[in-house]
Amino acid sequence: MYSKKVFEHFRNPHNFGSMDNPTVVGQVGNLACGDVMKLYLKIAKNKQGQDFIKDIKFETLGCAAAIATSSVVTDLTKGKTLTEALKITNKDVVKALDDLPTIKIHCSLLAIDALTEAIYSFYKKTNQPISADFEQKHNRIINCQTRLKH
């Protein structure tokens, strides 16, 4: 049921494990099944003075799709500026994996949510302006989280 790409990332995930002294961490749990994903980001300034993802690692408790999407998100974002990284959607993730079964699409959201949360907390930490859109996105994720706890 999974594509070859999913299997590759699942069997040999890229950038997994924890990170010493990450700049920020984004952790989310998934509403549908209680799986958890954690992204560690090391953020630095590039030559143009923009914040970029110098290093990224993940830890995930979940199905093969969750592990594969985590791995692919680290690939898609490593070296990107935060602005670029925020533009990545779960559709990009699904595409990079040569598709996911419909029932597993929510797993790809998990990875995007973790990324969003990590960047959100970096913006907060460094007192950067947060757009209304971004704030809304963050609130939606937080809502899911609290609903999950009940």
Partner 1 sequence: MNLSTKSRYGLMALANLLNQDCCCSVKKISEAEHISSDYLEKIFSKLKKAGILKVERGACGGYSINGDPKKITLSKVVNALEKAEFTCPDFCTCQSKSVWQKIQSGFGYVLSSITLDQLSNFKNKSIYLDYAASTPVDSEVLATMLPYFSQNYSGNTMSLHKYGNSASQIVESCRQTFADILKVKSSEIIFTSSATESNNTVLKGVAFANKSKGKHIIISSIEHDCVLNSAKWLETQGFEISQISVDKFGLLNLDELKKTIRPDTILVSIIHGNNEIGTIQDLASIGQICHDRGVYFHTDASQSFTKTPINLSKLNIDLLTASSHKIYGPKGSALLYIKTGTKITPLLHGGGHEFGFRSSTVNLPAIVGFTKAAEIAIKNFDQEKEKLTKIRDYLINNILKTIPDSHLNGHPTKRLFNNINISFDRVEGESLLLELDFFGIAASTGSACSSMSLEPSHVLLATGLKSEQAHGSLRFSLGRFSTKAEADYLLEVLPQVINKFRALSPFKG
Which residues in this chain contact partner 1 in the complex, by CB under 8 A?
Answer: 2, 10-13, 16-17, 27, 32-38, 59-64, 66-67, 103
Judged by beta carbon distances under 5 to 8 A according to partner kind, the member of ligand FES, partner 1, none in contact with residue 51 is none
**Which H/E stretch holds residue 72?**
helix 64-77
Taking the complex as a whole, how short is the minimal distance between the CB of residue 148 and partner 1, in angstroms?
A: 10
The single residue among 2, 22, 28, 35 that binds ligand FES, judged by CB under 6 A, is 35
33 annotated active-site: yes
The single residue among 33, 83, 101, 140 that binds ligand FES, judged by CB under 6 A, is 33
- Under the criterion CB under 6 A, does residue 57 sit at the interface with ligand FES? no
**Which H/E stretch holds residue 82?**
helix 82-86
**Cα–Cα dist 15/75, whole Å:** 8
Cβ-based neighbour number of residue 79 at 10 Å: 14
- Under the criterion CB under 6 A, does residue 62 sit at the interface with ligand FES? yes
Helix axes 4-11, 64-77, angle to 10 degrees: 80
Considering 6, 85, 107, 110, which one is annotated as catalytic? 107
Cβ atoms of 108 and 90 closer than 8 Å: yes
Active site residues: 33, 107
